[in-house]
Amino acid sequence: MKPTHLLLAALAVAVAFPVFAADPTPEQKSAKEAEDRLHTDWAWIGRYRDANAALPAPVVGQPRIVLIGDSITQGWFDHVPTFFKPGRIGRGIGGQTTPQMLVRFPADVIALKPAVVQIMAGTNDIAFNTGPMTPDESKANIRAMTELAQANGIRVILASIPPADRYPWRPGLDTGSKIVAMNAWLKSYAAATGSTYADYWSALVAPGTLGMREGLSSDHVHPTVAGYAVMAPVAERAFKAALSHPAPTRAVIAR
C-alpha cells in the first residue's frame, strides 16, 4: 500500500474509534487553574474580592486585625476558624510569595481599614515559587508592605517564618538556615520601624534542629491543628502589643 493510502487508512481508524482522554484528577484541575491564573490574575486579587465587598465597616470597640500571608495563614483559617473571632480577618493564599502579597495589599489590607495587619511571608520566596528571588528582594517587598500600612495608619505585626527543615515540593533545598537569617532581619526591621515582632519560630521549633517539633506539622512546613494551638498565644500577645501602640501617622523608613 502506498504511504498516502496508509495515512488515509490510519485517519479513518482514528475517526471511527476515537481515543478519549481520562478525566483530569482534582489535583490536575487545580494545577491547571493555578497555571491559567498566572496569566489572568497573577496575584489572585480576585480571591477575596467578594468577601471584601461584603465586609461591614469596622465596629467601634472591636479593633479589626487582618492577617495576610500564604498557606500557613490560609490554613489557620481553614483548620481553626474559631481563632478568627469577630474583627479578625484571614487573607492568606496558599503558595504566595511576597511580590504577590504586595500587589494585593491595597485590596486585601488597606481597603479593609484595619487597626492592625499581621504580615507572614517569605517561606515561598525561599522556595522560589514564583521564580528565583534574593533575600534583598524579599526584604524590599516586606518593607513596601510595612510602609504602605503605616502610611495608612495601620499598626504592623511582622511574623517570623515558621521553622521548616525541608520543603517537600523543593527537595534538596537549604531551607532552615535561610529561614533563620530572614527571621533575624524581620526582628531587627520590626524594632527599627516600631512594628511588633511575632516569634512563631521559637514556639514551634524542635530543640537543636531547624524543623518543627513532632506533631506540630503535617509535612515539615504546614502546621497541624496542634501547631496552630501553639501559635495562638504568640498571636494573642502580638495583637495586644500592637494595639497598645498609637496608630502610626506616617511610614517609618528603615533598612
Return the pLDDT at 9.
52
Return the pLDDT at 26.
66
The answer to whether 204 touches 210, Cβ cutoff 8 Å, is no
The residue segments making up the domain with residue 177 are 45-55+64-243
Domain assignment present for residue 5? The answer is no
Helices (H) and strands (E) in the chain, counts: 10, 5
Return the pLDDT at 245.
97
The answer to whether 42 touches 103, Cβ cutoff 8 Å, is yes
Phi and psi angles of residue 223, each rounded to the nearest 5 degrees, phi first? -65, 150
Overall domain count for the chain: 1
Domain assignment present for residue 163? The answer is yes
Domain assignment present for residue 153? The answer is yes
Domain assignment present for residue 33? The answer is no
| Cα–Cα separations (whole angstroms), residue 5 to 10, 14, 15, 30 | 9, 14, 15, 43
Strands ordered across the beta sheet of 88-92? 88-92, 65-69, 116-120, 155-159, 196-198
Return the pLDDT at 7.
47
DSSP annotation of 129: B
Q: What is the mean pLDDT of each run of 10 residues along the chain (255 residues)?
A: 51 50 67 67 93 95 97 98 98 98 98 98 97 98 99 99 94 94 99 99 98 96 98 99 96 85
Residue 202 is part of a domain; what is its CATH number? 3.40.50.1110
Domain assignment present for residue 28? The answer is no
Record the cell numbers describing residue 128, joined without a space: 522560589
C-alpha–C-alpha distance, residues 97 and 130, integer Å: 7
Domain assignment present for residue 254? The answer is no
Domain assignment present for residue 35? The answer is no
Domain assignment present for residue 213? The answer is yes
Burial of 52 (0-12, 13-18, 19+ CB in 10 A): middle
Range 226-230 contact pairs with CB under 8 angstroms and sequence separation of 24 or more: 227/162, 228/75, 228/76, 228/79, 228/80, 228/83, 229/80, 230/203, 230/204
